[in-house]
Amino acid sequence: MYKFKKDGKILALIASPRKNGNSEILLKEAVKKFKKSSIKIVRTSSLNISHCQSCGFCEKKGFCKINDDFQKISLLLAKSDIVVVASPVYFYGLPSHFKSLIDRAQSFWAKKYILKKTDSTIRPVYTILVGGSRGEKLFLGSRLTLKYFYDVFNLENSGELLVRGADKKGDVKKCPNYMRQARRLIH
């Protein structure tokens, strides 16, 4: 099991464009037991990240040639001791701006699997997904996408909180069980 260092860094990604929405509420509940100085919270919708151009440059060089906020966020993803991802689920998938970040991680996939250059340190990642629907397969697409995104950054899924039926802003606060599960998510 991964042992969090006293001076460790936590990267908390909020994939929702809605400020103080359900996924953000749960994320903040999950990290509040840690020192604020160890937590970096990033709202992915505020990042300037272009779409992957599928140009193949990363397969030769091991990095993406597009210069935008992806370089900063990917460095944080690669260097954080713990990563927490909180996202709403839209039409059984992840929000488009967050998906752009994921697609740009192709450069890390190329570096790891084509160029065979990677850090072998495995770090934990915790996932919070919130959907308004109660569908049986609500999280299937998002979980598969995140599985492979986590892989290229050597992140091991260490816990999930999957919430159905929370559509309106603040719905998760009406269910103390969700808040309790969020507090216990990171171990």
The pLDDT mean for the chain works out to 93
Each residue's pLDDT tens digit, 105-147: 999 999 999 999 987 789 999 999 999 999 999 999 999 999 9
pLDDT of residue 3: 57
Structural tokens at position 82:
């713990």
167: CB partners within 8 A, 6+ apart: 131, 132
Query: Helix and strand tally (H, E) in the chain?
Result: 7, 5
Q: What global pTM score does this model have? A: 0.94
- pLDDT (mean) for 18-31: 96
Q: Which residues of 119-144 are buried (b: 16+ CB within 10 A; e: fewer)?
A: eeeebbbbbbbbbbeeeeebbeebee
